[in-house]
Amino acid sequence: MARPATTYSRGLPALALATVAALAAALALVFFYAPLDADQGFVQKIFYIHVPLAIVSLCGFVLGGIFGIWQLRTGERKWDMRSYVAIHMSLIFGIAALIAGSIWAKASWGHWWEWSDPTLVSFLIVLLLFATYQPLRFSIEEPERQARYASVFAIVAGAFVPMNFVVVRLSQGFVHPRVLTLTGGRLPGSMQLTFAVSLIAIALLFTTLWKFELSAKNTRMQLRAARRALLGDDAVRPLGRSAAPS
Amino acid sequence: MRSVLAILRKDLLLELRTFETLPAMVLFSIVTFVIFHFALNRGSLAGQLAAGILTATLLFAAMLAINRLFVAEREQGGFDAFLLAPVDRSVLLLAKAAALFVFLVVLEVFALPAFALLLLGPSLARSLGGLVVLLALTDVALAVIGTLVSAIAVQTRARDLIGPIIALPLLIPALIALARGASPLLSGHGRTFPQGHWLAILGLYDLVFALLAYAVFDFLLED
């Protein structure tokens, strides 16, 4: 059997370095290169953090669903673990995006929360749905069933993400024009470049953290297996109640 | 198809003989209308407010049925018996969703007149047809998503908690369509039929989740 721990940690240092470089470049561009917004001034720069965080976390949720499909097709636990870590990371990124968005909303619209922005509302609904992923895992004890049910949830919720955005957008009755299209269609070139670099940096950060957590979890599992083999079953305490694959 | 009807018949017969879930749902909805009357301190409602209260009440009454949908199967070994039977597993999804749909229709047969009597200001007579179409499409969404979530939640330790917290966010788009589509119908002088795009959203939502539930349901029964 190949040592699976190495597959996750392979390339991790290089990836981490690339992430640091990309983040530094993104921040440098945000603060020194991108022009100040004519209306909103300095506070608009939070857009370069907020929007990439939101996009990456939504992609992570959908990715969790895709890994879930593979878990159901192959029945291999590694896909469940990838799906779990992707959703777990996306939740953290999503909450960060929501907080950043709230700050931006307070500064530019005067309110911490704005119901008339469909993207914001859709994002909240998606986050509320995925927040139930861990409670669901927590309350299933049998590992094999936990993996299967979590994957089913990840697939259904992953498919829900785009549908939810369409419906919430329609519910606003087309009266609110989009200020910032996701492709940055109406942004000046320098802002587009900064945005693209920020997006890449945040995506790299997500990948690094995802790989790091996978590698850490894998190592811990191997360590437990090794201890069990060497010292006997009694030497290894059972894991406390945990939502993580074990 | 015959096995779908057999399971559906079993569920309806069980309900007819025990009268466990449906009376509770109807009572729950009527009590909720009374609570809304006091909470809002209003004698009669119209428009968006009426649509919202109808939506929320029907949703929470539906949650009662969703929570109980698979409990008998789980506690009395119905899942094992079903897995032993030489039938396709999606039969169970179809039968349970149909049973839930019937429950919801019966609930609405009682809850809608009660709502019109207790809270609704304008008469329903003109727009009843449109409302029935809207409610039927919403019931399909509630039935499909309810069955799927119930099948997931029934195997968890805290099923009464897990079911609602997963079902509510999943149902939000359908509930948006119901509440917004029903609003002009309940205003008394507006449209008599919901706007087309709400019906289209509900239809699309029903279709996508029916296909999705069909695709993943088998994995919830494996053992």
User: pLDDT (tens digit, 9 = 90+) per residue, B97-108?
Assistant: 999 999 999 999
What is the signed CA dihedral for B124, B125, B126, B132, rounded to 10 degrees? 70
- Using beta carbons and an 8 Å cutoff, which residues of A are at the interface with B? 72, 125-126, 128-129, 132, 135-136, 139-141, 145, 148-149, 151-153, 155-157, 159-160, 163-164, 167-168, 170-171
pTM value is: 0.88
Q: Which residues of B touch A160 (CB under 8 A)?
A: 170
Q: Compute the 3-state secondary structure of chain B and give helix, strand, coil in percent, each to the nearest 5.
A: 80, 0, 20
Residue of B nearest to A69 (CA): B216
Helix A77-108 / helix A189-231 crossing angle, nearest 10 deg: 140
Q: How far is CA A193 from the centre of its chain?
A: 23
Looking at residue B110, its pLDDT comes to 95
Q: Cβ of B156 and A139 within 8 Å?
A: yes
Domain-by-domain residue ranges, chain A? 63-179, 182-214
Q: Is the pLDDT of residue A109 over 50?
A: yes
Candidate from A109-113, A225-229, B22-26, B190-194 with smallest mean pLDDT: B190-194
Which of B152, B155, B201 has the CB atom closest to A167's CB atom? B201
Q: Is the pLDDT of residue A39 over 50?
A: yes
Q: Work out the minimum CA distance from B81 to partner chain A, whole angstroms.
A: 19
CB pairs under 8 A between A and B: 78
Looking at residue A184, its pLDDT comes to 45
Q: Cβ of A153 and B222 within 8 Å?
A: no
Please name the residue that has the structure tokens 């890449």: A200
Q: What is the mean pLDDT of residues A199-228?
A: 90
Q: What is the mean pLDDT of residues B43-49?
A: 89
Q: How many helices (H) and strands (E) does chain A have?
A: 8, 0
What does the DSSP 8-state code read for residue A234?
A: G
The gap between the terminal CA atoms of chain A, to the nearest Å, is 19
Candidate from A145-159, B8-22, B73-87, B110-124 with smallest mean pLDDT: B73-87
Q: Cβ of A148 and B220 within 8 Å?
A: yes
Q: Work out the minimum CA distance from B152 to partner chain A, whole angstroms.
A: 7
pLDDT in tens, B51-96: 999 999 999 999 999 998 998 888 888 888 888 888 888 899 999 9
Q: What is the mean pLDDT of chain A?
A: 84
Q: Work out the minimum CA distance from B173 to partner chain A, whole angstroms.
A: 6
* CB burial readout A103-135, b (16+ within 10 A) else e: ebbeebeeeeebeebbbbbbbbbbbebbebbbe
pLDDT in tens, B183-216: 989 887 777 888 888 999 999 999 999 999 999 9
Q: Work out the minimum CA distance from B140 to partner chain A, whole angstroms.
A: 17
Q: How far is CA B9 from the centre of its chain?
A: 19
Looking at residue B107, its pLDDT comes to 96
Candidate from A39-43, A152-156, A204-208, B206-210 with smallest mean pLDDT: A39-43
Candidate from A234-238, B116-120, B162-166 with smallest mean pLDDT: A234-238
pLDDT in tens, A67-78: 999 999 998 888
pLDDT in tens, B138-178: 999 999 999 999 999 998 888 888 999 999 999 999 999 99
Q: Cβ of A156 and B216 within 8 Å?
A: yes
